[in-house]
Structure 1
Amino acid sequence: MGGFLKRIFGRTPPVMPVVEVDIPPLSVPDCVAVIGDIHGCATLTRQLIERVNAQHPEAHLLFVGDFIDRGEESADVLKMLMDMPDATCLMGNHERMCLDFLDNPEERGARWMRNGGLQTVASYGVSGTQTELTKMRDALAVAMGDHTINWLINRPLYAQFGNLYAIHAGADPQAAIEGQGEKPLIWGHPLFRKQPRTDGQWVVHGHTIVDQPMVEQGRVSIDTGAYATGVLSAAVFAGADVAFLQAKL
């Protein structure tokens, strides 16, 4: 290939250098347990919370979003999380899709239904078809109630503990997380998994399924596809240390 390009352009294209970034160590002042994408798996969530509480009773619990959809127990998951006022629960893209459906069912409903919304609707005892989206929205809004809907609306986009940020999907590695807005934080950014941050901040996230929770260049990935694999994962941070816990069906 290099010879072919040289014949055409008269020179061999330069090889892009690999940028090595010296990632500062974690510095998390208190113990925090970050739990990955739940996706309607209430049974696994209870098991994992019990495991975290047994091994790290001092840990603050944080959930990275995508509490609903795909799994069959979304209503139970939301009730469980809402009954834990001391926990931090972030906004995920599936919560956003649900809220978009409630706001504009005809334009936003089909997409949500294709991505697990039907399971969430069914978990609230609401039936319907994609040709009855407004009726479905009306019934779901009644079943969920204003308290649950307002709770979803008010989910934060990120949380910070020392030099660790918890977000749902990713972030632009070239910009401060605080100013990025919703889209990159709940849907991801094309450079997030390709380029490490250079500001000394670590990021723990879900959204992208991995076979096992992993640490790579200041990124800690913890979505192990609970709804499909039966494995829900958490990362426990304290000081400069990170450890993983899992619940399995």
Structure 2
Amino acid sequence: MQYVLSDLHGKYEGFMTLLDKIGFGDSDKMYILGDVIDRGEKPIDLLEYITKQSNMELILGNHEEMFLSYLSRGKNSTMDLWVDNLGGTTLQQYERLSQERRNNVLDYLQSTDLYKMVGNFILVHAGINISDSKDSTVEKIMESQKKDDLLWIRSDFYRRSAFAGRTVIFGHTPTSVLHDKNYIWFDEKYGDKIGVDCGAAYGGKIGCLRLDDMREFYV
């Protein structure tokens, strides 16, 4: 079975509970659409766990990108705002790791993809921008995407149509913004988008979608 979820934000125990609930096993596959760190209690524990699972794949989120940017630019960089408001717990836990474990975390994050195409699904953290690419193929449109759009875009994506015959599954924007509920959002207007960030970082839920039969799971 194939599963997808997003924006765990350090909710380690909740994620473990979800894995038990769905009976996640060695023959299954989990796609995590970014933002496993920041805001929650155990961001580095969660990230390290994911790095060790051969059947889990992390798509880069904007919070992982901010973390990498901060580490590359130094503590006096403009990324101080990330530490003060979002990433303090992540940074503290990261700095307590041995150098070997730090290297493993960084190597893993630097190897993550910005999107993944799985069958007719396009998996991405925030969304896509296809406003200037209507006459191109899906593959070419995805290859030409800007990183900032894949990591940060919001209403310019979810308020417009995407791809006919394809479904974009995304996180980043909590589903409470999309339909006032902490449950997975299916775009009824265009039928080509599914939002799976059910607001775990804000007192909502961890939502998980099984791609094989579109069954929903929540913790």
* TM norm. shorter chain > 0.5: yes
Q: CA deviation at 1:59?
A: 3.6
Check whether the contact 2:10–2:42 (CA below 8 A) recurs between aligned residues. yes
Check whether the contact 2:36–2:46 (CA below 8 A) recurs between aligned residues. yes
Check whether the contact 2:34–2:58 (CA below 8 A) recurs between aligned residues. yes
Check whether the contact 1:64–1:91 (CA below 8 A) recurs between aligned residues. yes
Q: CA deviation at 1:122?
A: 2.8
Match for residue 136 of structure 2? Answer: none
Tell me, what secondary structure is at the counterpart of 2:216? strand
Q: CA deviation at 1:111?
A: 2.5
Instruction: After superposing the two structures, state which structure 1 stretch, 191-200 or 212-221, moved more.
Output: 191-200
Match for residue 182 of structure 1? Answer: 147
Q: Does 1:167 align with 2:124?
A: yes
Q: CA RMSD in A?
A: 2.2
Q: CA deviation at 1:228?
A: 2.3
Question: Counterparts of 1:101 and 1:142 in 2: how far apart (Å)?
Answer: 17
Q: CA deviation at 1:36?
A: 1.6
Letter in 2 for 1:50: D
1:44-67 Cα offsets, whole Å, 9 max, x none, are 11111222225x885421100101
Instruction: After superposing the two structures, state which structure 1 stretch, 111-120 or 71-80, moved more.
Output: 111-120
Q: Which residues of structure 1 form unaligned runs of 5+?
A: 1-30, 127-139
Q: Does 1:84 align with 2:75?
A: no
Check whether the contact 1:38–1:68 (CA below 8 A) recurs between aligned residues. yes
Closer, same or farther: CA 78–231 of 1 in aligned 2, 3 Å: same
Closer, same or farther: CA 108–86 of 1 in aligned 2, 3 Å: farther
Q: Does 1:214 align with 2:171?
A: no
Please point out which of 97, 101, 104 is paired with 2:66.
97
Check whether the contact 1:214–1:220 (CA below 8 A) recurs between aligned residues. yes
Identity of aligned residues (%): 25
Question: Counterparts of 1:150 and 1:221 in 2: how far apart (Å)?
Answer: 28
Closer, same or farther: CA 141–181 of 1 in aligned 2, 3 Å: farther
Letter in 2 for 1:99: L
Please point out which of 71, 75, 83 is paired with 2:40.
71
Alignment of 1:6-21 (within 5 A): none
Alignment of 1:21-36 (within 5 A): 31-36=1-6
Please point out which of 91, 98, 117 is paired with 2:87.
117
Task: Count residues with an aligned counterpart.
Answer: 201
Q: Which residues of structure 2 form unaligned runs of 5+?
A: 134-140, 176-181
Q: Does 1:47 align with 2:4?
A: no
Question: Counterparts of 1:207 and 1:188 in 2: how far apart (Å)?
Answer: 9
Please point out which of 106, 111, 126 is paired with 1:149.
106
Closer, same or farther: CA 158–141 of 1 in aligned 2, 3 Å: farther
Question: Counterparts of 2:201 and 2:63 in 1: how far apart (Å)?
Answer: 14
Letter in 2 for 1:214: W
Question: Counterparts of 1:212 and 1:200 in 2: how far apart (Å)?
Answer: 24
1:145-185 Cα offsets, whole Å, 9 max, x none, are 21111111111111111110110011114442232031111
